[in-house]
């Protein structure tokens, strides 16, 4: 338990500092809520439409494809670090994994998953 004492002290100090900062800001800060201050900031441009509109699905698909192919780094990184110790079997396994990723990439490419406008 003694090894966690510095972490506990740091946590208490951080929470105390954050709480004191917020408390002092609320206590000492001026409050002058005008309609302009309470309105949402739109980069100086008057909003033309309601902000609650449907988000195009193409953004979700692009994000899912990015996450799918970005997760591969989680598997490649430890393998690359330990490549000298794991041997040829791990190389074969990683080549199979890379081949499966390549098949998925080619499928998405042919299906038009990377096309922005359809």
Per-residue pLDDT at 42:
67
Which residue, among 67, 110, 75, has the nearest Cα to 96 in the 3D structure? Answer: 75
pLDDT higher than 80, residue 2: yes
User: How far apart are the C-alpha atoms of 72 and 95, rounded to whole Å?
Assistant: 12
Average pLDDT on 17-46 reads 84
pLDDT tier for residue 17 given thresholds of 50, 70 and 90: very high
pLDDT higher than 80, residue 70: yes
pLDDT tier for residue 118 given thresholds of 50, 70 and 90: low
Which residue, among 60, 69, 59, has the nearest Cα to 109 in the 3D structure? Answer: 69
Per-residue pLDDT at 66:
87
């Amino acid at each position: 338990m003694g090894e966690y004492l510095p972490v506990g002290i740091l946590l208490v100090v951080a929470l105390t500092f954050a709480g004191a900062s917020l408390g002092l800001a609320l206590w000492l800060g001026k409050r002058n809520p005008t309609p302009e201050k309470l309105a949402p900031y739109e980069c100086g441009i008057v909003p033309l439409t309601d902000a609650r509109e449907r988000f195009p699905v193409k953004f979700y698909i692009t994000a899912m494809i990015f996450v799918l192919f970005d997760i591969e780094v989680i598997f490649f990184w430890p393998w690359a670090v330990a490549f000298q110790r794991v041997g040829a079997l791990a190389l074969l396994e990683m080549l199979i994994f890379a081949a499966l990723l390549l098949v998925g990439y080619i499928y998405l490419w042919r299906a038009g998953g990377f096309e922005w406008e359809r």
